[in-house]
């Protein structure tokens, strides 16, 4: 089987995707087509390579443009095209709204009295409206024609029909005023209706396109995490080669502070490795001979040699990239309620307009042709879908604006629409429910085990006792020379407490065990508990999910220091509120089970999934989805990206990685987990407003169309009623600002 990937320019909705796939499937030899709206790419599977011109022609036949480049330049080409598209759309939005504003100033009662004479001139208004109608709205016309070709009717069709009728009616009034005078009908053009509506529709398109412009950046940032070179051992010599030239079986040397190039197994040496990119955990992982290391993770301390086992597309990072890309592409865009209504509404309106014309022409009084034309125009104008076209985008614009004010950045309309349906929320632990940084929580001296010097859970009780102060000062003095993250946490806490640190002689780092040195003539060791010793308090702290390091003075156990990732202040309130709302809360983490369960118990999360790798996180999300649940994923790390992309709605912490933020639909800039609750409430209020808008818009058409068919309303009044309907919808959307979230 052969696969070809290329970009498609001009897609903006689910209908575009369907139309493109349908056209490409008609090519001989093609067995499958997948069009990814998020990335703008299409993947074509065929028995043999398909000629470039056939692909271009198939895509062109439905109104879009295929961009076929070499794999290395395709992403750059897509980015260039998106930038160009945004610039063009931005210009069209500005021109449409500016010219529409000029026309409104010269025609709207109350303000036209203050307008320049030129602005009141109907011929001048016609020129301005024509620019908007046939230049700015060009893409709308092309999309509408394409939709009709495939026997579908979306919002593009509605907008085009409505604005075109209003525009043509205004032209007739402008160039043939005597026609209406002879009938003793006062006629006024309504160029402002078509121009302003087109401008607002294009503004919504621009905002949506701007949000989608950075979709592919998550993938690029993931790729950028890879090491560029690897130090391989060949012919007993260490040489640096590009990472692309590394092959499975190569021996690779990694020094402290370097990225691990590819996946493999340690064959010589030991080290502590920061695997937060994959596991999400801030605590480094100790690695020994025979242990697996993961490409793109960071070596913190020791130097070691490992054998490459997975290279290129087989590495874990490459798999994460693949998962993110697939998850983004597998999302089916939400079918807009307005589009569903439109698919039935458009053909009905056309039939009613034709029926009106025929009825008045056949059965009407003398001059039936004129009355038939006027009444059918009135039907089309009154049925103009402007209000329906504005129902969703205006509410979305207001809703996203409110979200931004509260530190909730919503990437697109789909995310806002989906959030209120969420029944299960899966939380990452480290950096999401917790602060993501190791902190000293307890210091216990062996001769006073009941007193804890520091505690994140409870404040210190009175002044520092001498034994604890001395113990922690010794530990910090030794760890000051260490590069280990746990040591850094100890030193940071000592500095906060303004402890005086001593000079250290003969410092040694014992990889995988701890550190030691001489302080004031005494041998001090900080690290693992020696096999011959036991400390009940240490075991109890471990059960609470804390990491414990023990302090020895002259080979005698003197006490311990406990370190843990502390829970965010807003986490407990957020979980409690969500549970009360009937939303299932789940915690998922790459951390050990004991730590995970301890934190889950404190927060009131009943379902805890521990020791879960990135690909497994995505799998767990899909398990809940298979149960029929709408799932939200809240995370902050690179390891969360596949799950964020696979979930019905991904929510990223603003303090998280760029990759996580790019893969998510919502970003919490304010770092407050209560904002998860606020996002759900905002979504509910916004959807309520949209449904009310659509009801009003549709009811308006249902009520007034029969009135127009009976000849009881003129095109002028129809245009006025249409404008009033649109204003009502916009006003209702603005009322959303009063919503409490």
How far is the C-alpha of 640 from the C-alpha of 255, rounded, in Å?
A: 28
Q: Cβ(428)–Cβ(635) under 8 Å? A: yes
Counting other chains too, the contacts that 666-670 makes at CB distance below 8 Å and 24 or more residues apart are 666/403, 666/408, 666/409, 666/410, 666/411, 666/415, 666/419, 667/408, 667/409, 667/411, 668/407, 668/408, 668/409, 669/407, 669/408, 669/409, 670/406, 670/407, 670/408
Is 428 annotated in the active site? yes
User: Computed from CA positions of residues 705, 707, 708, 710, in that sequence, does the dihedral angle turn out positive or negative?
Assistant: positive
- Distance between CA atoms of residues 609 and 612, nearest Å: 7
3-state helix, strand, coil in the chain (%, to 5): 55, 20, 30
Would strands 30-36 and 584-588 be described as parallel, antiparallel, or unpaired? unpaired
**Per the structure block, which two tokens stand in for 496?**
């906060």
- C-alpha closest to that of 413 among 212, 583, 215, 219: 212
Question: Strand order in 229-234's β-sheet?
Answer: 237-242, 229-234, 251-254, 304-310, 263-269, 292-293
How many residues does the structure list for the chain? 741
Give residues with Cβ within 8 angstroms of 652, minimum separation 6: 634, 635, 636, 640, 644, 660, 661, 663, 664, 666, 667, 668
Buried b (16+ CB within 10 A) or exposed e, 568-606: bebbbebbebbeeeebbbbbbbbbeeebbbbbbebbebe
As beta bridge partners, residue 409 has 667
Structure tokens at 613: 């790798």
Q: What is the DSSP letter of 113?
A: G
Q: Is 280 left (phi over 0), alpha (psi -120 to 50) or beta?
A: left
Q: Evaluate whether 380 touches 165 at the Cβ level (below 8 Å).
A: yes
Q: How far is residue 385's CA from residue 391's CA, in Å, rounded to a whole number?
A: 10
Residues in Cβ contact with 550 at an 8 Å cutoff, skipping those fewer than 6 apart = 526, 527, 528, 529, 530, 533, 535, 538, 557, 559, 560
Q: CA-CA distance, 447 to 445, in Å (whole number)?
A: 5
Is residue 63 a contact partner of residue 145, using CB atoms and an 8 Å limit?
yes
**Residues 223/75, Cβ–Cβ less than 8 Å:** no
Strands 263-269 and 304-310: antiparallel
Q: Is 515 helix (H, G, I), strand (E, B) or coil?
A: strand
Query: Which residue is catalytic, options 75, 192, 339, 428?
Result: 428
Per the CB < 8 A criterion, the answer to whether 417 and 424 are in contact is no
Query: What token pair was written down for 534?
Result: 């036991």
Q: Name residues whose C-beta falls within 8 Å of residue 68's C-beta, 6 or more positions apart in sequence.
A: 4, 6, 7, 52, 55, 56
- Are the C-beta atoms of 33 and 45 separated by less than 8 Å? yes
667 strand-pairing partners: 409, 652
Query: Is residue 399 within 8 Å of 416, Cβ to Cβ?
Result: yes
Task: Tell me how many degrees the CA angle 532-504-556 measures, rounded to the nearest 5.
Answer: 20
- 674-708 burial: b if 16+ Cβ within 10 Å, else e: bbbbbbbebbebbbebbebbbebbbebbeebbebb
Which active-site residues does the annotation give?
Answer: 428
């Amino acid at each position: 089987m052969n696969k070809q990937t290329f970009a498609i320019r001009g897609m903006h909705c689910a209908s575009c995707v369907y139309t493109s796939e349908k056209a490409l499937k008609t090519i001989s030899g093609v067995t499958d087509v997948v069009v990814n709206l998020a990335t703008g790419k299409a993947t074509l599977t065929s028995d043999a390579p398909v000629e470039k011109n056939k692909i271009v022609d198939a895509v062109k036949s439905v109104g879009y443009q295929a961009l076929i480049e070499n794999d290395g330049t395709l992403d750059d080409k897509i980015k260039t095209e998106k930038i160009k598209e945004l610039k063009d759309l931005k210009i069209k939005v500005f021109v449409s709204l500016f010219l529409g504003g000029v026309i409104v100033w010269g025609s709207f009662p109350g303000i036209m009295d203050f307008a320049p004479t030129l602005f009141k001139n109907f011929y001048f208004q016609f020129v301005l409206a024509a620019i908007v109608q046939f230049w700015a709205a060009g893409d709308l016309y092309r999309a509408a024609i394409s939709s009709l070709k495939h026997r579908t009717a979306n919002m593009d069709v509605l907008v085009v029909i409505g604005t075109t009728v209003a525009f043509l009616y205004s032209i007739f009034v402008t160039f043939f005023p005597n026609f209406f005078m002879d009938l003793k009908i006062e006629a006024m053009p309504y160029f402002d209706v078509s121009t302003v509506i087109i401008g607002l529709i294009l503004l919504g398109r621009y905002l949506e396109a701007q949000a989608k412009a950075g979709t592919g950046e998550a993938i690029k940032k993931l790729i950028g995490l890879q090491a560029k070179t690897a130090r391989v051992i060949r012919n007993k010599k260490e040489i640096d080669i590009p990472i692309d030239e590394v092959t499975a079986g190569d021996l690779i040397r990694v020094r402290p502070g370097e990225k691990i190039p590819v996946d493999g197994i340690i064959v010589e040496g030991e080290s502590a490795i920061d695997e937060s990119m994959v596991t999400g955990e801030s605590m480094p992982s100790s690695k020994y001979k025979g242990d697996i290391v993961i490409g793109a993770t960071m070596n913190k301390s020791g130097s070691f040699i490992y054998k490459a086992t997975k290279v290129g597309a087989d590495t874990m990072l490459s798999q994460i990239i693949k998962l993110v890309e697939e998850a983004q592409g597998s999302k089916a865009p939400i079918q807009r309620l307005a589009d569903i209504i439109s698919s039935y509404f458009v053909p009905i309106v056309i039939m009613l307009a034709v029926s009106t014309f025929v009825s008045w022409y056949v059965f009407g009084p003398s001059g039936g042709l004129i009355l038939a034309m006027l009444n059918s125009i009135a039907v089309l104008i009154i049925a103009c879908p402007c209000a329906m076209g504005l129902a969703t985008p205006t509410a979305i614009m207001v809703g996203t604006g409110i979200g931004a004010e509260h530190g909730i950045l919503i990437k697109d309309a789909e995310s806002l629409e989906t959030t209120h349906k969420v029944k299960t929320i899966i939380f990452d632990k480290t950096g999401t429910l917790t602060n993501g940084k190791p902190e000293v929580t307890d210091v216990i001296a062996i001769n006073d085990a009941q007193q804890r010097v520091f505690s994140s859970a409870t404040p210190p009780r009175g002044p520092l006792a001498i034994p604890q102060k001395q113990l922690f000062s010794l530990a910090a003095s030794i760890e000051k020379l260490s590069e280990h993250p746990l040591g850094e946490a100890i030193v940071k806490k000592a500095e906060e407490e303004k402890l005086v640190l001593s000079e250290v002689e003969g410092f040694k780092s014992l990889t995988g065990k701890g550190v030691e040195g001489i302080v004031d003539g005494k041998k001090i060791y900080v690290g693992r508990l020696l096999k011959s010793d036991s400390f009940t308090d240490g075991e109890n702290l471990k059960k609470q999910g804390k990491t414990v390091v023990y302090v020895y003075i002259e080979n005698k156990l003197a006490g311990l220091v406990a370190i843990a990732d502390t829970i965010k202040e807003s986490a407990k309130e957020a979980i409690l509120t969500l549970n009360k709302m009937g939303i299932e809360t789940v915690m998922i983490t790459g951390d050990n089970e004991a730590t995970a369960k301890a934190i889950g118990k404190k927060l009131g999360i009943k379902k805890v999934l521990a020791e879960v790798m990135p690909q497994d996180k995505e799998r767990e999300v899909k398990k809940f989805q298979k149960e029929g649940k709408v799932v939200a994923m809240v995370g902050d790390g690179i390891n969360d990206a596949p799950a964020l992309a696979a979930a019905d709605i991904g929510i990223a912490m603003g303090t998280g990685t760029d990759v996580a933020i790019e893969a998510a639909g919502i970003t919490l800039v304010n770092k407050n987990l209560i904002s998860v609750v606020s996002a759900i409430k905002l979504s509910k209020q916004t959807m309520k407003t949209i449904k009310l808008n659509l009801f009003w818009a549709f009811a308006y058409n249902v009520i007034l169309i029969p009135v127009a068919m009976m000849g009881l309303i003129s095109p002028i009044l129809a245009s006025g009623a249409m404008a009033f309907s649109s204003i009502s919808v916009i006003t209702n959307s603005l009322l959303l600002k009063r919503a409490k979230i």
